[in-house]
Structure 1
Amino acid sequence: MRRLLSTTLGQILAIIGCSSVATFLLFIVLLSYFGSPPAPPWPWQNAYRVAGLVESLRGAPQDVRNTIVAAVRRPDLSVRLTSSPSACSRQTLDTHDFDAALRAELPGITDLAVRACTSHKPGETIQVLVPLDGQTLEILTDRTSGEPGRFTGPFYSALIFLCVGVAAMSAWAISRVIRPLRQLSEQADAFGREMSIAPIEEHGPLEVRRAAHAFNLMQERIMHSVQNRTRMLAAISHDLRTPLTRMRLHIETHRTDIVPDKLIQNIDIMQSMITSALAFLASDTDRETREWLDLGALISTLCDEYAEGGAAIRYDGPEQIRFFCRPEAIRRVLTNLVDNALHFGRTVTVSAKVLDGAIQVDVSDDGPGIPEDRLRDVIEPFVRLDHARNDRPGSMGLGLSIVKEIVQAHNGTLRLINRHPSGLTARVSFS
């Protein structure tokens, strides 16, 4: 029982059970409430007769009242005027109902009394006493029905059936609601043991669907991250073999005249690989504070720095472009795109423009381009197209992936477009 109550289903069922019991008791209390007249037929017929008789006697002279009393005698109704009535003492649901009906019909009389008698013969079991000008009108009548059937077996059965039915339907509805939560829990447990599992079905109430959707997104991100890191480790272990093998051969040949330069070159290649991998793993673009940047001035300055180093590069665009961004991350985007363009092309053009509030930056080269069916692939991590572009020492195929991640963090898009007759344009758009 304790284990059941510790679950969501058990707690909700406990709440429903307590509510059903409270509802049951409330029904009993309401039906036992003595503050309002009863519903027809009992005791309204008798009450009408008694009320009519009392009204007639109150408006009649003293010497005529005995005649009226004698005229209304019936087998089920005994009436007399007396100065010393023998009052009965019992109270039942019948007397309560009769009293409430009489007071509703005779609002001006507040001191009438209705009691049940046990010593009278059948037909005279309820006594009504009404004071009239120093005398008391005593009326004895019979119950036209038995004790009011409020708390009979069928009544209890119907009320219990109602409470049990509500609890059962509620339990069924709750089980349908929490079933997706149970599936989500099972999926989370399975995901902890095995990464490659199918996404959970998104159904149930809105909040549960949102939780399932968030879990699927989290599962997808984790799987993607694990796959990228696995591929990165495989790429590093594979690509480091070549420079390490060359370094070992240079040392074993004992050619002291070329060993230092070759070692430094191979170390630079290895350092470039490690730096690229660490940059991809860091994913720290969200840590930098956003601020206003003059993007036009940044591009112009960057192109001047490359031109001073001997690169054939130029900037074509406005001098000022206000952009709210993370400056170091945007500089990294431009540097990676320009480095790629300069490596595969001889001349590079960086152009920028603002269209309806959207910023578009193009980095174009005159290199060999990329096959149309591989334009999307090269943006993925660790993808290098050796056939389309010569292999780049120290490159792990992470430059465009890092660019894409930063651009998407700024609500932008990265697109690669082949130029004709040759060349490639890397287009970055910020909305």
Structure 2
Amino acid sequence: MMLRFFTTTLGQIVSIIAVSSAATFLLFILLLSIFDPTPPPPPPWPWPAAYRIAMLVETMRSAPDEARAAIVAGARRIDFSIALTQTPRACNGLGQDAQKLQSALQSKFGDMLPTFTIRSCGSDDHATDIQALLPLEGRTLEVLTGDTKADRFFRLTLPLMSTLSFLCVAIAAMSAWAVWRVTGPLRRLAHKADAFGRDIVMESIDEEGPIEIRRVARAFNLMQERITRSLRERTRVLAAVSHDLRTPLTRMRLQLQAGQAENVRAKLLRDIDLMHSMVASAVSFLSGAFLEEEKEWLDLGALLSTLCDEFEETGANIQYEGHEGIPFFCRPNAIHRAVTNLIDNGLHFGSRVVVSASIEQDRVVVDVADDGPGVPTHRIEDVLQPFVRLDPSRSSRSGSVGLGLSIVKEIVEAHQGQIELRQREPNGLIARIIFPSSAFARPTMDAHFAR
């Protein structure tokens, strides 16, 4: 369980924080022991011990007998053991430290102290290796002391160590809490991603946490939305195509069952072309094949003029109003298809179509206007959606599955443009395509098309 925890982001960051806190703690202790900002050290050996012994003897002499035991207990330290006894057990050594203490007592306090004896006990504990025996009113005051060499860590007291430990633990705890707050959105994102594999229809994940995590959550939401929309559109296109294919298939079956195949060849071919058109339109919409085409520069005005001429040759009442020489960076086949769809719609619902192109306020504007019945204002947004037809019951337009304007919208938006539908006075519909200035040619391209 612990090993699994340390494989998570939270566990690894907590480990880094714990190790860095411990290293900081040890480094702080090391620096404190080397560069201690406390006052200067006490006088060298043996003067601290000599002063303590002299003051202790003076205090014991002036104190009543019943208070001496308390004085002895209060004066004890790790390096200063005191006992008031009748029969002391004297040591017999006389080391260099013992001689130094004896000389210090004689030179400074010789007239204040009674006859005393200083000896070395040869103990392994240097803090109580020297014995001082001083007579005191029928008893002997025994003092065990020693030269405590500078202990580097003698100033690291319990309060200081506790403070440092609490500081490190608090930093680690607060850091772990902060990391948990940061990784929380990641955990929820992982849970959502796992659940998304089982249930496509889900609520969007909250975009919270640091900006990088919010970006990941936003990207996940967009991905989920695109996948959901794609699946829904695929379902709708399958339903629409399967529904619309029934009519030509039924007609073909009846014609063949009637045994008049030799007389209905043209009708069969027309129905096959109709089915092919519906399937091709649906597949093209779902695959977005136009996105694979490479962009190139072309003269948009010339393209629209040529397209109108081709429709006019088939007997259509169509006119291009606009000038040529509009450099445009686009996918030519995709733009050709988008404008063709708009012209087809206009010619189907109206008797005359006018195509125009112009540059207005640093943008390219293409209008395809017809004189048909138009579209009700409240249904304008609907007809841009896939598989939407204003009167699906009539199915008056052969081969239509309601994708013409949807394909136009996809192509225009792929060129960073937008399409607008508006009513035309006194009757008809205007399909307006607006491309941003980024699609324009630079001056060098203007010179290219001027040649």
Q: Could you tell me the TM-score, scaled by structure 1's length? A: 0.76
> AA paired with 1:8?
T
1:211/1:38 CA distance change after superposition, 3 Å: closer
C-alpha distance in 1, partners of 2:328/2:239? 38
1:224 maps to which of 221, 229, 251: 229
Change (3 A) 1:147 1:317: closer
2:14 partner letter? L
1:377 aligns with one of 382, 393, 399 = 382
Give the alignment's Cα RMSD to 1 decimal. Answer: 2.9
| Counterpart amino acid of residue 337 in structure 1 | L
Q: Is the 8 A contact 1:344 1:389 kept in 2?
A: no
Question: Which residue does the alignment assign to 2:401?
Answer: 396
User: SS of the residue aligned with 1:201?
Assistant: coil
Counterpart CA distance in 2 for 1:148 and 1:295 is 86
1:75–1:123 contact (8 Å) kept in structure 2: no
Q: How far apart are 1:357 and its partner, in Å?
A: 2.0
Q: Which range is displaced more, 372-381 or 116-125?
A: 116-125
What one-letter code is carried by the residue in structure 1 that aligns with 2:228?
A: M
Measured after TM superposition, the shift of residue 120 of structure 1 is 7.6
Q: Which residue matches 2:26? A: 25
What SS does structure 1 have at the residue aligned with 2:260? coil
Q: For residue 27 of structure 1, report the CA deviation from its aligned partner.
A: 1.6
Tell me the equivalent position of 2:271: 266
Q: Which residue of 1 aligns with 2:301?
A: 296
Matches of 1:234 and 1:261 in 2, distance apart?
A: 28
**AA of the residue aligned to 2:193:** A
- Alignment correspondent of 1:322: 327
Question: Corresponding residue for 2:41?
Answer: 43
Alpha carbons of 1:119 and 1:430: their partners in 2 closer, same or farther (altered >3 Å)? same
Match for residue 251 of structure 1? 256
Equivalent residue for 1:15? 16
C-alpha distance in 2 between matches for 1:387 and 1:274: 18
1:255, distance to aligned residue in structure 2 (A): 2.7
The residue number in structure 2 matching 1:172 is 177
Q: Specify the SS of the correspondent of 2:197.
A: helix
Q: State how far apart, in whole Å, the 1-side matches of 2:97 and 2:331 are.
A: 96
Q: Secondary structure at the match of 1:26?
A: helix
1:295 is displaced (CA, Å) by 0.3
Judge conservation of contact 1:381–1:401 (CA < 8 Å) in 2. Answer: yes
2:315 counterpart of 1:310:
yes
Check the 8 A contact 1:369/1:388 in 2, yes or no.
no
Q: Within 5 A, what are the aligned runs for 1:34-183?
A: 36=35, 38-40=37-39, 43=41, 119=130, 149-183=154-188
Structure 1 CA distance for aligned equivalents of residues 193 and 152 of structure 2: 63
Give, in angstroms, the shift of residue 151 of structure 1: 2.3
Q: In structure 2, what is the equivalent of residue 287 of structure 1?
A: 292
Alignment CA distance shift 1:87-1:295 (3 Å): farther
Residue-pair matches, total:
353
Counterpart amino acid of 2:9? Answer: T
SS in 1 for 2:359: strand
Task: Find the residue that maps to 1:350 and give its secondary structure.
Answer: strand
1:112 paired residue number: none
Give the TM-score of the pair, scaled to structure 2. 0.72
1:156 Cα deviation after fit: 2.0
Give CA-to-partner distance per residue, 1:328-363, whole Å, 9 cap, x none.
111111111111111111111001110122000000
Aligned with 1:430 (options 435, 447, 451) = 435
> Counterpart of 2:443?
none
Query: Structure 1 residues 87, 290: CA separation in 2 closer, same or farther (over 3 Å shift)?
Result: farther
SS of 1:422's equivalent in the other structure is: coil
Which residue of the partner structure matches residue 64 of structure 1? none
